[in-house]
Structure 1
Amino acid sequence: MRFCKLLFVGCLTLVSLASHAENLKGLYQVRQPVNGQAPEERDRATQAALDTLVLRLTGDPKAAQNPGLAPIRKDPQQIISQFGFDAGPPEVLKVDFDPATTEQALRRAGLPVWGASRPSILGWWLNDSTEGASLVGDGQAAAATLRTAAQHRGLPLRLPLADLSEQLVATAPALESADPAPLRSASERYSADALLAVHAREEGGQWQAKWRLWLGDQKEAGSVQGADQAAVADAVMLAVAERLAPRFVAKPGASGQQTLEVQGMNLEHYAALLRLLEPFGVRLQSVQGDRIVYRVNGSVDQLRAQLSLAKLQELPAEAPVPVAPAQPAADGTPAVAAPTPAAAAPSLRFRW
């Protein structure tokens, strides 16, 4: 069959995701501020970069202290491919961690891993200072601060154009409201998975921000503080990442195996699906026409959340095939009941 013959080609072909989810670039690169290039300062920044990466990949603020990571903390060079300094300002240590050895170290420690395919977030961000209120739009100077914070915390952030019509919608009351309807309407043109509304205010030389996040049926909210715009942006992105991660990370051995069937497959869907399922230890079981079956590790809720990023439609579980009752033999010998078949593994069924 055509799809079967093209599977190998699909593995080698890079195509865009048929969903709003983004395959986050630079997930394993951390830019950590430093005070000079002295060896002790470099070591301090390297440890901080490792902590940042572990939090970025697990969403767990306590994960970096896991005893299973002690050898890596003692010698981070085991999982570092290269590093260098950028003059700035501010001066930063740029550390590139090796994806394969990093993931191996996390899994050996029994830690979950959040893959690179993550929900795209449209950020409506209003800065309110003594100079007035300003909606941060794509292309503005303030946008760089938000993008840096989002990248640091492993979030794919998009920003609106912030044209006049959007400025009239994204007011302070709208951004602090529990009703996302006005923002949802203005967000349709950007096709993002999640909606983030932030009202940041400067008071007495300090910044504080109230934020709200909507992703499907998930609603989150909180408030943070920071010394400046960069600090408060980082605090918001950290809070958002920690709220999102539990919905998507796959904890090794904690959730069991699932059988996943997906219908309507083609080469583009195949490549997109592999990226989405990568954190769940995906293994191909069978291919029949445009129907494919995988064995994956993870909870049903986590898999549903991950597949929702590709806008797949869930199908009802297939009814079990009835077993015909045993019939007596022609000579009247009583029939021997057939052994009861073993219960099938939990199954999820989706289609594009």
Structure 2
Amino acid sequence: MLIQRIRPALWLALATAFVLGFGHPAGAASVAGLYEAEAAFEGEREAGFRAALAQVLVRVTGRRDVVDRPAVEPLLDDAAAYVQQFRQPGPGRLWAAFDGVAVERELARLGLPVWGVERPGTLLWIAVDAGGGERFVVASGDEVPAESAIRQQVLDAAARRGIPVVFPLMDAEDRSRASFAEVWGGFEDSIRDASARYGVDAVLVGRLSADDLGYGRWTFYGADGVARWSGDVGASIDRLADRFAARFAVVTTGAAREVRLAVSGVETIADYGRVSRFLGSLTAVERVGVERVEQDRIVYRIELRGGADALGEAVRLDGLLRADDTAGPEYELNYRVAR
């Protein structure tokens, strides 16, 4: 086996990790700028810090109503204490970057959820009947002014909530699989087939008409099922973000819980590095360290911020690991490197 050829090097790497204990605190970089915001303000600069932190709290907790909670008022009032950098790009506007670790610590103390940087990506198929025979699916590049305006609406709303979204290229391959008629008609098989090339976690289909380009019909396809609703672009992105946050934002439940997680199929140092970095990046994981190596299986000690369900959701979302149904009950969680 390949694992036997690299055994000395693997043991050296794992021994180093073991000596360092539970490794590094969780953290990754899938979504940049979660703790940065630009806001308009009047009067004192502190008002700008408060408005910017309010945006950050919505993005990081996944809760639109978080700033309305009385328990959060002291945090907002003390917003300046969490600022690491700031600048004023123009009169009455302020950009600020906040201390993410300190903000997360305060949210945990308040019993509020934290949604980390690892977030599901969504592909948007938006079919628009603009009237006068003008029909199109919003693509990733500029085409017509109406298309550009709708795309920017989506991007602004997604940035506000901190969710990654992409648009189809609408090249020859896309058009052959999901034409305007198929997107407008909601042909699920065609849409799913055309979406496969983009490697996203979810798909959101919108249909807008000339009667009201700000209001449409939407269909969501994700790992947790299919959902349909009506609303404008901003409200629909909010609904998408709310849905994800309900699954992936983690509330710290007092004392951290420790579990053992076994990963089989670790055949190379590269496998070990990918798995270890992935586990360490998850919001649900406070700390991660290696307990032992058994042939091609590595047993990790995981210190959880929340419950094991949140960890399981994050693992399913990424796709690096899959559940190992052949493993015995020796360890609480069993996975295998997906090939």
Using the size of structure 1 for normalisation, the TM-score is 0.74
- CA distance in structure 2 between the partners assigned to 1:121 and 1:103 by the alignment: 25
Deviation at 1:150, TM superposition (A): 1.4
The verdict on how the C-alpha distance between 1:3 and 1:197 changes in structure 2, with shifts beyond 3 A counting, is farther
Deviation at 1:309, TM superposition (A): 2.3
Deviation at 1:307, TM superposition (A): 0.2
1:184 aligns with 2:188: no
Contact 1:176 1:210 in 2 (8 A): no
From 192, 195, 203, the equivalent of 2:211 is 203
From 4, 21, 43, the equivalent of 1:39 is 43
- SS at the partner of 2:318? coil
- CA distance in structure 2 between the partners assigned to 1:144 and 1:4 by the alignment: 50
Contact 2:46 2:80 in 1 (8 A): no
Q: Which runs of 5+ in 2 are unaligned?
A: 1-7, 21-27, 143-147
1:138 aligns with 2:140: yes
- CA distance in structure 2 between the partners assigned to 1:86 and 1:128 by the alignment: 38
Contact 2:38 2:94 in 1 (8 A): yes
- SS at the partner of 1:266? helix
Aligned to 1:334: none
Deviation at 1:156, TM superposition (A): 1.1
Aligned to 1:328: none
Aligned to 2:332: 347
- CA distance in structure 2 between the partners assigned to 1:195 and 1:248 by the alignment: 17
From 266, 277, 291, the equivalent of 1:271 is 277
How is 1:17-36 mapped onto 2 (pairs within 5 angstroms)? 23-32=30-39, 34=40
Deviation at 1:170, TM superposition (A): 4.6
Using the size of structure 2 for normalisation, the TM-score is 0.77
Contact 2:286 2:303 in 1 (8 A): yes
- SS at the partner of 1:94? strand
Q: Which runs of 5+ in 1 are unaligned?
A: 12-20, 226-231, 322-345
Residue deviations 1:68-89 (CA, integer Å, cap 9, x gap): 433211121122222233459x
- CA distance in structure 2 between the partners assigned to 1:61 and 1:125 by the alignment: 24
Aligned to 1:250: 250
Deviation at 1:5, TM superposition (A): 2.5
| Greater mean alpha carbon deviation, residues 56-65 or residues 304-313 | 56-65
Percent sequence identity over aligned pairs: 25
| Greater mean alpha carbon deviation, residues 117-126 or residues 139-148 | 139-148
Aligned to 2:324: 315
Aligned to 1:104: 105
The verdict on how the C-alpha distance between 1:68 and 1:292 changes in structure 2, with shifts beyond 3 A counting, is farther
- CA distance in structure 1 between the partners assigned to 2:50 and 2:179 by the alignment: 39
Deviation at 1:210, TM superposition (A): 2.1
* Greater Rg over alpha carbons, structure: 1
Deviation at 1:253, TM superposition (A): 0.8
Instruction: Provide the alpha-carbon RMSD of the alignment.
Output: 3.1
Deviation at 1:120, TM superposition (A): 1.4
Count of residue correspondences: 302
- CA distance in structure 2 between the partners assigned to 1:176 and 1:77 by the alignment: 50
- SS at the partner of 1:286? strand
Contact 2:127 2:138 in 1 (8 A): yes
Instruction: Specify the code of the residue in structure 1 equivalent to 2:274.
Output: E
- CA distance in structure 2 between the partners assigned to 1:268 and 1:285 by the alignment: 14
Deviation at 1:288, TM superposition (A): 1.0
How is 1:280-299 mapped onto 2 (pairs within 5 angstroms)? 280-288=285-293, 290-297=297-304, 298-299=306-307
Aligned to 2:262: 261
The verdict on how the C-alpha distance between 1:80 and 1:217 changes in structure 2, with shifts beyond 3 A counting, is same
Instruction: Specify the code of the residue in structure 2 equivalent to 1:272.
Output: F
